[in-house]
Amino acid sequence: MKTGFLCFLFIAVIFASCTRDEKNSSPNLVLILVDDMGYADVGFNGCTDIPTPNIDKLAEGGVRFTNGYVSYCVCGPSRAGLLTGRYQDRFGFSRNPLFAPNDPGMGLPLTEETLADALKKAGYKSLAIGKWHMGAHESLHPLKRGFDDFYGFLSGGHRYFPEELTLNDPFEATSQYDGYKTRLLRNYERVDETEYLTDALSREAVSYIEINKDNPFFIYLAYNAPHAPLQATEKYLSRFENIDNKKRKTYAAMVSAVDDGVGLILNKLEELNLEENTLVVFLSDNGGPENHNASDNGILRGQKGDLFEGGIRVPFAMKWSGTIPAGEVYENPIISLDIFATIIAQSGKEIPLKNEIDGIDLIPYLKGENNSQPHDQLFWRKFDAQDYAVRQGDDKLLIKADSKNMLFNLTNDISEENNLEEQKPDRILQLTKEFQNWNRNMKDPIFMGLSQDKKYNELHPERFEKLTE
């Protein structure tokens, strides 16, 4: 009897050990994306008027990237790059898509594989929360793009107070920004939300962690805060009596709501002993539109919509307790495309990918196993404006169609004030060739964008009509 019990105990221990090894080889991913946050609006980048203790805790427990970039300077293309691990120009997602529920071509093309698609092959469960902006047509819905669950909205922005969500169906819209007023979706069903939107999105993330704690999961938490409209509850506004500027005060309250949500997520991971088995990433989709929402990009030049640093360098931090050293500051340039490559490499399985990705697995660099730079160069393109930028090492070339060439040494001149064009003409020629070689493999835009809203309406008078077969 005693021998049998010991044998049973031994088998149980071995089984538990194998389970832990299997889980550790397939770490969870919680990807927290905020919308229109300024580079200098988190404590780990020096913010003093908006406390962000939980976001800072994430950064302090892992690595903060001082040269962390996104692949575009506005939200739609930036998200397309993030979700595919590929420069979005490779598949023509070079504009912010319109809210067009009848148009299967207005969004992320079906040729592309999302991170959720890829992780599904490794047994992950995936949830998309919040802002989608990858297309409002039924064929582009998150559940058709690899995600198992969805709670959020399909448009490029949303209102925050539940009483303002008055549209039951996207076909009740009559204009682009009516999409902000649709009731939220849980998978395919409209629901009646009662909480302030940021709080509701945080709630859903925490719940999903609890439900899926025993299986590998991927949560894409795409807060629309602090994107306009600037709306916050008194709970958060009351924290900022010290800020006189009304716009900045509301913006601060919205950031504070996100920070609370990050805290709830980190606490839940800690409570369930999932910290060492979960990679948590925080970043913004682009730089802050300072003139629009009172965000602050600090010493960076430019803002959302620019290829100056203020449009593409963002608050960026990553935490994976026990794997990434805590308190690390990583100075080499990295990009949002790297998140896809990083989690795929850690999944514990060989995942065949549909397309070649542009991102790099960052873990060997963060652990000090590879001391080279992850990228030889990084590229950005604004097709309609015919503006582009290349960063290689310390140097960044910025070409704007309406002005002269600009070359900056970002290590010595982070604010991009000293144009080295006359001193280094050969360097400009070299970087221009690098861009031209890259650009040959990119596609023209495959759909109209926000700036073509009026023209699109003329060409598609049935834009918001519910069509029947």
Question: CA 220, CA 265: separation in Å to the nearest integer?
Answer: 13
Distance between CA atoms of residues 97 and 465, nearest Å: 18
Residue in 444, 445, 447, 383 with CA at minimum distance from that of residue 102: 447
Give the list of residues 6+ apart from residue 240 with CB closer than 8 angstroms, or none. Answer: 49, 50, 249, 252, 253, 256
- Any residues with CB less than 8 A from the CB of 320 and at least 6 apart, and which? 27, 62, 276, 278, 279, 280
CA–CA distance, 317 with 462 (Å, rounded to integer): 43
**To 10 degrees, the CA torsion angle through 82, 84, 89, 95?**
-60
Order of strands, edge to edge, in the sheet holding 378-382? 378-382, 387-392, 395-399, 406-409
Beta bridge partners of 186: 151, 189
Q: What is the spatial distance between Cα 388 and Cα 439, in angstroms, rounded to a whole number? A: 10
For the question of residue 375 being annotated catalytic, the response is: no
Report which residue type is found at 105: G
Secondary structure of residue 14 in the 3-state scheme: helix
Looking at the DSSP bridge assignments, the partners of residue 277 are none
| 75 annotated active-site | yes
Helices and strands (DSSP H and E) totals, the chain: 13, 16
Per-residue exposure over 55-65, b if at least 16 CB sit within 10 Å of its own CB, e if not: bbbbbbbbbbb
Which of 47, 73, 133, 158 is the catalytic position? 133
Task: Write out the two tokens for 331.
Answer: 């100075």
- Could you give the CA distance from residue 160 to residue 37 in angstroms, rounded to a whole number? 17
Residue of 75, 141, 158, 227 marked active site: 75
Task: Supply the DSSP string of 89-150, one letter for each residue.
Answer: GGGT--SPBP--TT-TTSSS-TTPPPHHHHHHTTT-EEEEEEE--S--SGGGSGGGTT-SEE
Catalytic residues: 75, 133
